[in-house]
């Protein structure tokens, strides 16, 4: 039993969780790479293609509050292992789907498994890294998002081209059955152990404590901005390759290679640069994380609009790559803010509520909405995707309010004797 209690160092904890997160996003993104051959095989429309993503999100966001509740109360490594096994099973079974309804059920299963992992893993990292290093650690963890997504595009596209879209799901999901066992031999960190001043007094939260998060203004500004951001990014991640196929007449494998390459380079560099720069910015001002969010999104808005309207294929691809780079600057800071705007005994619950909100009101519906709009406008996908920069603009506005609110709070805290009713005696 000694091996069961062996502790991992913070570095190894981060390394393992980041590697698992890479497979998380790889399995999630394979369907984006094979959308066209899958749709041709089942004879489905753009709108029905978007529904495959909606099905995944139903499993993902509905179960996230349940895993968040458990994540603040029971052993997290077993929940992580269960989640990896379930999402891998759903991915493999997708390759065996005999009909469209069955395929939708398997995508729900993938979402259910990923909800456990995505909800709980950030709280484990926050327990082993203190506030000074936490954002950098979470930034490294979320580097797996673009890299894993890129591998999903690249591997899914290549395997589909050689052996068919069904093999892409089978090969992507199979390793997860072994990866599910990765954390089980090790002791998980004590909740709140990196916040040494309060680590011994961390209490299990009551339901009323969780519900109180909805009255936390900073938390709500972060999450609702994240909703708008996710609405846009989720829809374009799904429709991006198809956009290049239909508007700029690239082949499916070339479109997949482009998005895979952009995700690796722009996503990797953007996530790391945004996270580390935000950490440095935060050390100079309490609004550093929030400024990084709103500025990167607002610069991306006009660039993404121009990319979607460009007649030149080279110009469209260049602007898309730059927009993706800017949007990935947010990946680390936004999740750090979710963790740090709530009490430490509510971290898993806060991540669960965030996941629930960003998908229920964000990318659960956006791929299907874009698909339905394209169908309504006579297959005009280029017109339909223009709603996405508008969503980004809303997210940037909410994060600007958060940044200004943080600045005002910091100035008020520095002002001597303000609001204390201090008076001086008349001479």
What are the pLDDT digits (tens) for 114-137?
888 888 888 888 888 877 778 788
Per-residue pLDDT band for 420 (boundaries 50, 70, 90) equals very low
Answer for the pair 121, 72: CB distance below 8 angstroms, yes or no: no
| Residue-level pLDDT at 199 | 44
Residue 201 pLDDT level (bands cut at 50, 70, 90)? low
pLDDT tens digit sequence for 176-197:
888 888 877 777 777 666 665 5
Mean residue pLDDT of the chain comes to 83
pLDDT band at 427 (very low <50, low <70, confident <90, very high): very low
User: What pLDDT is stored for residue 306 in this prediction?
Assistant: 93
CATH architecture of 8-182+207-410: Up-down Bundle (1.20)
Distance (Å, whole) CA 39 – CA 276: 40
Q: Is the pLDDT of residue 239 over 60?
A: yes
**Percentage, residues of the chain above pLDDT 70:** 93
> Is the model's pTM score more than 0.75?
no
| Lowest mean pLDDT across 147-156, 188-197, 217-226, 367-376 | 188-197
* pLDDT tens for each residue of 292-324: 999 999 999 999 999 988 889 899 899 999 998
Model confidence over 5-48: pLDDT tens digits?
677 788 888 888 888 888 888 888 888 788 888 888 888 887 78
Beta bridge partners of 187: 7
State the chain's maximal CA–CA distance in angstroms.
92
pLDDT at 51 over 60: yes
Structure tokens at 283: 């050390």
């Amino acid at each position: 039993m000694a091996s069961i209690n062996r502790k991992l160092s913070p570095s190894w904890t981060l390394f393992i969780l980041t590697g698992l997160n890479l497979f998380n996003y790889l399995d999630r993104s394979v369907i984006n790479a094979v959308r066209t051959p899958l749709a041709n095989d089942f004879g489905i429309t753009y709108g029905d293609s978007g529904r495959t993503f909606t099905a995944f999100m139903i499993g993902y966001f509905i179960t996230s509050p349940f895993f968040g509740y458990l994540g603040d109360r029971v052993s997290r490594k077993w929940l992580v292992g269960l989640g990896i096994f379930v999402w891998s099973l759903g991915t493999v079974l997708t390759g065996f789907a005999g009909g469209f309804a069955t395929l939708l059920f398997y995508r729900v299963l993938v979402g259910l498994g990923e909800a456990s992992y995505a909800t709980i893993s950030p709280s484990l990292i926050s327990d082993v890294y203190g506030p000074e290093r936490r954002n950098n650690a979470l930034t490294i963890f979320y580097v797996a998002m673009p890299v894993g997504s890129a591998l999903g595009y690249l591997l899914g596209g290549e395997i589909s081209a050689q052996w068919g879209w069904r093999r892409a799901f089978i090969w992507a999901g199979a390793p997860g059955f072994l990866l599910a066992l990765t954390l089980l031999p090790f002791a998980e960190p004590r909740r709140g152990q990196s916040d040494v001043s309060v680590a011994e007094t961390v209490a299990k939260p009551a339901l009323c404590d969780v519900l109180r998060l909805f009255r936390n203004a900073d938390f709500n500004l972060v999450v609702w901005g994240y909703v708008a951001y996710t609405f846009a990014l989720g829809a374009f991640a799904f429709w991006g390759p198809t956009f290049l196929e239909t508007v700029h007449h690239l082949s499916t494998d070339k479109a997949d290679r482009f998005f895979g390459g952009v995700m690796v380079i722009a996503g990797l560099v953007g996530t790391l640069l945004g996270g580390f720069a935000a950490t440095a910015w935060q050390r100079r001002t309490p609004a550093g994380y929030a400024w990084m969010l709103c500025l990167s999104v607002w610069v991306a808005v006009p660039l993404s609009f121009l990319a979607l309207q460009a007649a030149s294929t080279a110009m469209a691809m260049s602007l898309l790559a730059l927009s993706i780079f800017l949007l990935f600057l947010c990946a680390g800071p936004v999740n750090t803010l979710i963790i740090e705007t709530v009490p430490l005994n509510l971290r898993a619950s806060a991540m669960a509520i965030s996941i629930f909100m960003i998908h229920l009101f964000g990318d659960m519906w956006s791929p299907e909405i874009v698909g339905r709009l394209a169908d309504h406008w006579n297959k005009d996908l280029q017109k339909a995707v223009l709603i996405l920069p508008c969503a980004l603009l809303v997210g940037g506005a909410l994060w600007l309010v958060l940044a200004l609110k943080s600045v005002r709070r910091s100035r008020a805290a520095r002002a001597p004797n303000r609001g204390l009713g201090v008076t001086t005696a008349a001479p």
